[in-house]
Structures are given as structure tokens and as C-alpha cells.
Chain A
Amino acid sequence: SSELTQDPAVSVALGQTVRITCHGDSLRAYFASWYRQKPGQAPILLIYGNNNRPSGIPDRFSGSRSGNTASLTITGTQAEDEADYYCNSRDSIGDPWVFGGGTRLTVL
């Protein structure tokens, strides 16, 4: 199956903006979604269809896609945003869904 590649760890200063990226060939054909997972909790959906927020997700979270790269941007990062972030898309090779390896965000 295809792979989605994420940086394992990213850090950001409190109140600043951070971009988390996801690279993969499947992103050229399929929409990206993004999930946040805090320790001991289930993932929650942050972004779907590359740049859409489900109801209840703050507008400081935004998504974009260019070519084979999807990005999640957090503006005005808060301490509560410290978590693991996963990208996800459909895949035409092998498994119908694929997840990135995850990015651990540290808020300094």
C-alpha cells in the first residue's frame, strides 16, 4: 500500500503558529483528513476533505493540500493542543485507507 509520511515530532511556542505536514502519493488523488489524539484518549477528527472542519472544531485549526503534501496549521497554539496528530487518506494501492505515522506536537 501507499505510505503517508509525517515528521515524528514538532514543537511550537505557546500562542504561535505551527504547520504539520503529511506527504504521500495518495494525496494527489484523494482527500486528506487529520486527527488529534491526546494520551489515553481516542482520536478525534479535526479536518476532512483537505480543508473542512467538523462542527465543534475551533477555527484555529485549518488544512490545505498541494500536490502530494497535506498540511494542518494550528494558529495561536494552546497548551491543550499538545498531542499526537495523524493524517489519513484513501488509497488506491492495497489498503483502502492509510494513516501517517503521526506527529507529536510539543507546546513550549
Chain B
Amino acid sequence: EVQLVESGGGVVQPGGSLRVSCAASGFSLKNYGMNWVRQAPGKGLEWISYINVVSTTIYYSDSVKGRFTVSRDNDNNSLFLQMSGLRHEDTAVYYCARDGLRGLAFDFWGQGTLVNVSS
């Protein structure tokens, strides 16, 4: 069974840093590109980052570019999002999502981890 489990969320002050992780099981992470998608409270889904299987192609949305860094450890089936310079507007549930079906859709999602940027 494919599973994605995020962890590492919490409360952080504005300007602070946090790293969230996504542990994959039931499939080999090295075969799939991966994404991070976030959802602010009461709002819609926002794609924020993509990383390909060998970490040579990485994209960020303009809203996080220069502040967030995505990485992966295929040997340990893990995906990471290092967030720095956090702002109130970064408060959201952060989901990792598999880039599946030959890149046509996000076919599996984790349950999400909440990041709350608050002083």
C-alpha cells in the first residue's frame, strides 16, 4: 500500500526556520518525482515545489522561491522541505504528493503537517 507520511510541522516565529519531512512507503521513491502542496486555513490548494527523481530538476512557486529548499533521500525513501524566512502567510497544512501517472497528476497524497507561523 502506497503511503506518504509528513512530519515536522509546528509553531515557529516569523523569520524562523523549519524542516518538514515526508516518509514514503509501499513504493520506491527513486522512481517518482515529488511535490509539495500547501493549504492555508480555509483556503484552496497551492502547489509550491517539485523535485525530479535525481534532484536535477527543481521548481518553486514564486511565493516560496529563495526561502524554501526541497531535497530528497532516495536511499531512505524520504522527501524534505527546508523552510526559512517564514512569514505569517506561510501558515498552512503542507502536503507531499507523488507525481504519478506519467506526470499527469498527483496520484497519492500524505495526510499533511501543519506549520503555524506565529509570534
**A88 on interface, CB distance cutoff 8 Å:** yes
- Determine whether the beta carbon of B109 is less than 8 Å from that of A42: yes
Chain A interface size, under 10 / 10 to 19 / 20 to 34 / 35 or more: 20 to 34
> Once bound together, how far apart are the Cα atoms of A84 and B43, in whole Å?
11
* Chain B residues within 8 Å of chain A by Cβ, number: 22
Interface status of B80 (Cβ within 8 A of chain A): no
With A96-B50, A97-B47: A42-B101 Cβ-Cβ less than 8 Å? no
With A42-B112, A43-B109, A95-B61 known as contacts, the answer to whether A48 contacts B44 (CB < 8 A) is no
Chain A min CB distance to B4 (Å): 9
A98-B59 Cα distance, complex, nearest whole Å: 13
Query: Please, which residues of chain B bring their CB within 8 A of the CB of A41?
Result: 111
What separation, in Å, do the CA atoms of A95 and B36 have in the docked complex? 13
Chain B contacts with A in 67-117, Cβ cutoff 8 A: 95, 101, 103-112
In the assembled complex, which residues on chain A have CB atoms less than 8 Å from the CB atom of B111? Answer: 41-42
In A83-108, which residues have CB < 8 Å from any B CB? 84, 86, 88, 90, 94-102
Q: Mind listing 27 A-B residue pairs with CB under 8 Å? A: A33-B106, A35-B45, A37-B45, A42-B95, A42-B110, A42-B112, A44-B109, A48-B104, A48-B105, A48-B107, A49-B101, A52-B101, A54-B101, A88-B47, A88-B105, A88-B106, A90-B103, A94-B62, A95-B61, A95-B62, A96-B50, A97-B47, A97-B50, A98-B47, A99-B37, A100-B44, A102-B45
Nearest first, the 6 A-B pairs at minimum CB distance are A48-B105, A33-B105, A97-B47, A42-B109, A102-B44, A99-B45
Residues of A within 8 A of B (CB): 1, 31, 33, 35, 37, 41-45, 48-49, 52, 54, 84, 86, 88, 90, 94-102
**Chain B residues engaging chain A, CB cutoff 8 angstroms:** 35, 37, 44-47, 50, 59, 61-62, 95, 101, 103-112
